[in-house]
Amino acid sequence: MADFLFALLFVILLAPLFVIVALMLKIDSRGPVIFKQSRLGYKGDVFNVWKFRTMCDDAENQGTGLTTAENDPRITKIGSLLRKASLDELPQLFNILKGDMSFIGPRPAPAKHLKEYSHYEMQRLDILPGITGWSQVNGRNFLTWAERIPLDIWYMRNVSLKIDLLIILKTIKVLVLSEGVYSGRNDKEVQDANKKE
């Protein structure tokens, strides 16, 4: 209930910013304002996660697919700014209003990952995915997928108000410093990682 109320408050307060970002995206490049992708939710339910589009249209079927690097040519000018400020995640407030996500939890993985999950990895689906989470504030995209899983499961097993408050504080630091927006891997490493995921 708290997630819903806070998400609704933020949507109302940030409505002008939503409009400004949408206009900037339409002026900057062709394609839809909102990017949506099938992701894994609670207990493996599949839902569409929403983001402001930061790449050229149909980027998933070009270059390195789902994986991006800092100098990825598919990222638009406005998209680069949105990513650095993490403003591309704002539409996920509507995912929270729908009940698909929470503010805090494991980041929702692409739906294609489900068939590859081990019994251990399935545990990260025992809680709603979040906009930010324990792995997000402890490495974000610098972490490999295998490194994120134990952090997500640790959070799922140790959820508490104290930890959530710590995540919120660390999230503010990550956002202000634009930490971990990209993996830091070179193009070859990005391509290899994409093949594994």
* 18-35 pLDDT tens trace: 999 999 999 988 889 999
192-196's contacts with Cβ under 8 Å and 24+ in sequence apart are 193/67, 193/144, 193/145, 194/64, 194/65, 194/66, 194/67, 196/145
Q: What is the distance between the alpha carbons of residues 113 and 135, in angstroms, rounded to a whole number?
A: 17
For 108, residues 6+ apart whose C-beta sits below 8 A from its C-beta are 39, 40, 41, 47, 49, 101, 129
What mean pLDDT do residues 97-107 have? 96
* 131-176 pLDDT tens trace: 999 998 988 777 888 899 999 999 999 999 999 999 999 999 888 8
Q: Give me the residue label for tokens 């598919």.
A: 74
What mean pLDDT do residues 168-190 have? 67
Q: List the chain domain ranges.
A: 2-196
Decide if pLDDT at 192 tops 50. no
What mean pLDDT do residues 39-49 have? 96
pTM: 0.83
10-18's contacts with Cβ under 8 Å and 24+ in sequence apart are 10/93, 11/93, 11/94, 11/97, 14/90, 14/93, 17/87, 17/90, 18/90, 18/91
Q: What is the distance between the alpha carbons of residues 179 and 46, in angstroms, rounded to a whole number?
A: 29
- Higher pLDDT pick, 66 / 128: 128
